[in-house]
Amino acid sequence: MSSTRGLLREAFAQAGVTGRLHAVDIDSGVEVDFGADQPVVTASVHKLCLLVTLHQRAAAGALDLTEQVECPADLRTPGPTGLSAMLDPVRMSLRDIAFLMMAVSDNTAADLLLARVGLDAVNLTTAALGLDRTHATHTFGELLATMKEDAGPGGAQALTDPHVIARLRALDPARGNRSTPRDMTRLLAAVWRDEACAPQHGPALRRLLGLQVWPHRMASGFPFDDVHVAGKTGSLPTLRNEVGVVEYPDGGRYAVAVFTRAASTAAILPAADAVIGTASRIAVDALRAEAGRAARGGAD
């Protein structure tokens, strides 16, 4: 698939980002590898690991997903969505908190769930699934705290300064929550094959991934009513990520993980968001073409 790698290289370059990608046909195992084993900062993509852990704990009888949790108005993890943005006390179930974590990437929701299951449990989950390059070192509140500390007195405004960006621990996969594109597609494939958790929890996991509201990254590459994209984004200064599964009406299903870093420090970069969809489409088209060749006995 050398031509596919060329198309991916060109797409990432035109968008002004460096990109890492792994895509795999969940049923045949045919793959597209573009830096698939390079360590990457997961940012909010790691919420998928937490979601799987939550359901594993529920399957083991260690918690009840309908358990009600209090979320007071103070001490919430900063963020622009969900509970993080609300002003008043809230009480809701663990499974509805998980919905907010996945649908709108709510940081407070994620940290409420982490307080319930623990970071060690998340790491035990990923290790048991064979995700050897995936590890969580901090909560989302702790992640944001390191950014505030590293940015210094300039605060959030300083995050447009390349010198400040260069010293953020949050952007170093050696010091923060991390994985690789291949590990993430392995996790997605396990979720879609009901291997990540007890099978009765599989539909709930896939449902929450399908409820993500953001259409501007991976889904932008598949603007068709009959193609379904379910995924989880992750964002930090200069970083834009998404991992997800693309399902076609003919039964084809493809796990894709795209991790990018932009040269520009601008917070709004539509091309950097859109290239995640473009790259995903290039990879999935290549996988579908390979499946077509295999069906024809290798003849083009």
What is the band of 149 on the pLDDT scale with cuts at 50, 70, 90?
very high
- The span from the CA of 181 to the CA of 252, in Å, is 20
Mean pLDDT value of segment 17-22: 98
- On the 0-12 / 13-18 / 19+ scale of CB atoms within 10 A, 264 is middle
pLDDT tens for residues 155-183? 778 888 899 999 999 999 999 999 999 99
pLDDT surpasses 80 at 194: yes
What's the pLDDT score for residue 294?
82
The model carries a pTM of 0.95
Fold of 4-298: Beta-lactamase (3.40.710)
DSSP single-letter state for residue 135: B
